[in-house]
Amino acid sequence: MTTLSPTYPLLIEGVTKRYGRRTVLDSLTFTVEPGRITGFLGPNGSGKSTTMKILLDLASADHGTATIGGHRYRDLPHPAGTVGVVLEPNAFHPGRSGRNHLRIIAQATGLPIDRVDEALATVGLDSEAARRRVGTYSLGMKQRLSLAAALLDDPPVLVLDEPTNGLDPQGIRDLRGLLRDRAARGHTVLISSHLLSEVQHVVDDVVVINEGQLVTAGPIEDLTGSSAQVRTPCSVRLADLLAGAGATVEQTQTDTIVVTGLNLEQIGDAAHTAGIAIHELSPHAGSLEDVFFTLTTATTEKGTQS
Amino acid sequence: MTSINLVRSEFRKLTTTRMPLAFLAVLTVLAALNGVAVAVGTDMDGSKTFISTAADQQSLMAFAANALMIAGLFGAIAAARQFGHNTVISTYLSEPRRSRAVSAQFIAIGLGGAILGLIGTSLTVAAVAASLPFTTHGFMVSASDVTRIIGAASLAGASGAILGAGIGTVVRNTGGAVTGTVVVLVIAPPVIVQLANGAAPWIPNAIANVTSGVADGTSVPGAVVGLALWALVPALIALWTVQRQDVV
């Protein structure tokens, strides 16, 4: 008999947080599904870190709930073994060695101390680095140490705030692979980042917030891949044909058009029926950065007007 | 996870930085100064009457009041720097029931304070014993009284450390925690005595000296309870506070 591992969706439901008169989060609601990597995006000060802190019971919400697998963080049977967390890039005592930092966490959570060296190896910190005081670490090494702490108990949920910050290209690549592997195992992964190009390459879903409010949430392709690029020697003729079928067509080069409103199959079939040769037919991935700025600027302007 | 794991983890926090070494250095210097005072110091009249009786020597070696202050600073720094370095985040993630996490921390810090008190008074006794041969007086304090002053210093160390940790947890800033501890242990008691003369036997130094057997302002059990209360009040305020504060 196969026993399925429990899954842990993250549910943020109507969360409002105020600091004095300032509303940091305003009825924020979204879900993070297991088995997928979810990017949590928003400008600085939009409320991403506050949301994560409320999810992890480090801050309290004025209204609403934030749960992990249906439980508040503090009510999970083994919270630190369920959720691996990277929050602050400098949450270390500078005079303590990297290894001792992890040993303290391992001891507090009842893990065997030898898990420390395994976690250090996973993130590529060698024993010489592990012996050194954290105050001598580069930002990238601190980020690796944070990741090692998050991975200590092989948790089924990862909540990572700006995990690529300070990592070198190899480190970013390793992290991407690690997150992909986790998601493939049915784990829940939530990462925030201001490096939108990095997020674009690794996430399945995105949640965009601005000024504490949800802007959009859903699969990344819904945001960036809703149009198709077609390269053909008969671009004008095909453009007319597709426009007649209800699509919006933009001529980007003499032999290239971008089509919105029809899927790839519909475009290919229409071209075939009309006897038009197609040299390229591909999803047109608009930059997430463009979408992000468009969405957040729109909500900021809306907020200013109201 | 068990509470013992949390306490061991907190104790490892204390022993994996250089802070304990700094405090040990302070204790060594204080003990050495006592030794020098015994060897070369005199009273105003040039005599050595300050070490001429067992009671005088016991009074000189009674370290509980010093332990209270030194361990108070130790506790304040140990607790407050968690917030300064943001390591409180991993503490609360490991044990989100903050009262348990902070209680474990106070136990570990209290234990650390007790050890500082024990080491401080042992060094002082050793320094005085080593210096007495340079005088005309011998070591007159009985073994039971030596045991008592060591025990009293350990108790005062634990009490002071928990008091400081309570203040550090409420203030969440190292400079503020140190200042707060000095205010509570040094500046406030004389003011309290000015306002209410009957409180004199219950100020920290007075009850520490009672436990060492070098003062009799109150009973020994009363002094022990008094030391416990001086530690518990800020600790309980801290436990109440951490339930309500966000980690920002």
The answer to whether B77 and A82 have CB atoms below 8 angstroms apart is: no
Say whether B87 and A95 touch across the interface (CB within 8 A): no
B89 touches chain A (CB under 8 A): yes
Q: Check: CB of residue A15 under 8 Å from CB of residue A196.
A: no
Q: Are strands A205-210 and A37-41 parallel, antiparallel or unpaired?
A: parallel
The pTM assigned to this predicted structure is: 0.86
- CA–CA distances in Å: residue A144 to residues A141, A164, A191: 5, 9, 15
Buried b (16+ CB within 10 A) or exposed e, B82-114: bbbbbbbbbbbbbbbebeebbbbbbbbbbbbbb
Q: What is the pLDDT of residue B234?
A: 97
According to DSSP, the residues that pair with A188 across neighbouring strands are A157
State the pLDDT at residue A303. 59
Is residue B43 a part of any domain in this protein? no
From CA A266, how far away is CA B98, in angstroms rounded? 58
Least confident of A55-59, B43-47, B134-138: B43-47
Between chains, do B93 and A53 touch, taking CB under 8 Å as contact?
A: no
Contacts of A40 (CB under 8 A, 6+ apart): A48, A51, A52, A190, A191, A192, A193, A206, A207, A209
> Which pLDDT band, with edges at 50, 70 and 90, does B197 fall under?
confident
From the list B113, B219, B216, the residue with the least C-alpha distance to B163 is: B113
Q: Which amino acid is at B191?
A: V
Q: Is the dihedral of CA A135, A137, A143, A146 positive or negative?
A: negative
State the Cα–Cα distance between residues A75 and A81, nearest whole angstrom.
13
B151-169 as b/e: b if 16+ CB within 10 A: bbbbbbbbbbbbbbbbbbb
Q: Is the pLDDT of residue B13 over 70?
A: yes
Distances (CA, A) of B92 to A79, A80, A238, B64, B96: 10, 9, 61, 33, 5
Candidate from A196-210, B25-39, B99-113, B138-152 with smallest mean pLDDT: A196-210
Domain that holds residue B190: 3-37+53-242
Q: What pLDDT shows up at residue B2? A: 67
Looking at residues B68-97, what average pLDDT do you find?
95
d(CA A235, CA B238): 73
Cβ distance A95 to B246 less than 8 Å, yes or no, reads no
DSSP A226-277: SEEEEE-TTHHHHHHHHHHTT-EEEEEETTEEEEESS-HHHHHHHHHHTT--
Going by their DSSP bridges, the two strands A83-86 and A256-260 should be labelled as: unpaired
Q: pLDDT tens track of chain A, all 306 residues? A: 445 568 899 999 999 999 999 999 999 999 999 999 999 998 888 999 999 999 999 999 999 999 999 999 999 999 999 999 999 878 999 999 999 999 999 999 999 999 999 999 999 999 999 999 999 999 999 999 999 999 999 999 999 998 888 888 888 888 999 999 999 999 999 999 876 777 777 899 999 998 999 988 988 877 766 678 899 999 999 999 998 888 878 888 889 998 877 888 889 999 999 999 999 998 776 666 666 776 776 666 655 555
Given CB atoms, is A149 within the 8 Å cutoff of chain B?
Answer: yes
pLDDT exceeds cutoff 90 at B45 = no
* Per-residue model confidence (pLDDT) at position B94: 94
Out of A85, A91, A104, closest to residue B12 by CB:
A104
Domain covering A10-218 in this structure, CATH number:
3.40.50.300
Q: Which two tokens stand for residue A189?
A: 């992964």
* Nearest residue of chain A to residue B92 (CA atoms): A58
Q: Domain A226-284 - what CATH class?
A: alpha beta
Domain annotation covers residue B248: no
A residues 106-145 near B, CB within 8 Å?
107-110
Does residue B82 lie in a domain region?
yes
Confidence of residue B247 (pLDDT cuts 50, 70, 90): confident
User: Using a CB-CB distance cutoff of 8 angstroms, which residues of chain A are in contact with residue B85?
Assistant: 90-94
Q: Count contacts between A and B (CB, < 8 Å).
A: 87
Q: What CA–CA distance (Å, rounded) separates A286 from A222?
A: 10
Residue B46 lies in a domain: no
Structure tokens at B182: 């000095």
Q: Are A204 and A183 in contact (CB under 8 A)?
A: yes
Q: Is the Cβ pair A59, B85 closer than 8 Å?
A: no
How many structural domains comprise chain B?
1
pLDDT at B164 over 60: yes
Q: What is the pLDDT of residue A301?
A: 62
Mutate to test the interface with B, among A57, A87, A104, A113 (most CBs of B within 10 A): A104
In a domain? residue B15: yes
Does residue B77 have a pLDDT over 80?
yes
Give A95's contacts in chain B (Cβ within 8 Å): 17-19
Closest CA–CA distance from residue A64 to any residue of chain B (Å): 16
B-chain residues near A132 (CB < 8 A) = none
Which residue among A87, A93, A97 sits closest to B89, beta carbon to beta carbon? A87
| B31 vs A223, higher pLDDT | B31
Q: Please, what is the angle between helix B64-84 and helix B19-40, to 10°?
A: 160
Q: How far apart are CA A206 and CA A41, in angstroms?
A: 7
Report domain extents, chain A: 10-218, 226-284
Contact call for residues A98 and A129 (beta carbons, < 8 A): yes
Which of B85, B96, B246 lies nearest to residue A91, judging by beta carbons? B85
- Measure CB to CB from residue A110 to each of B5, B16, B19 and give the nearest one: B5
Q: What is the pLDDT of residue A286?
A: 63
Interface test with A, best of B18, B81, B90, B99 (most A CBs within 10 A): B90
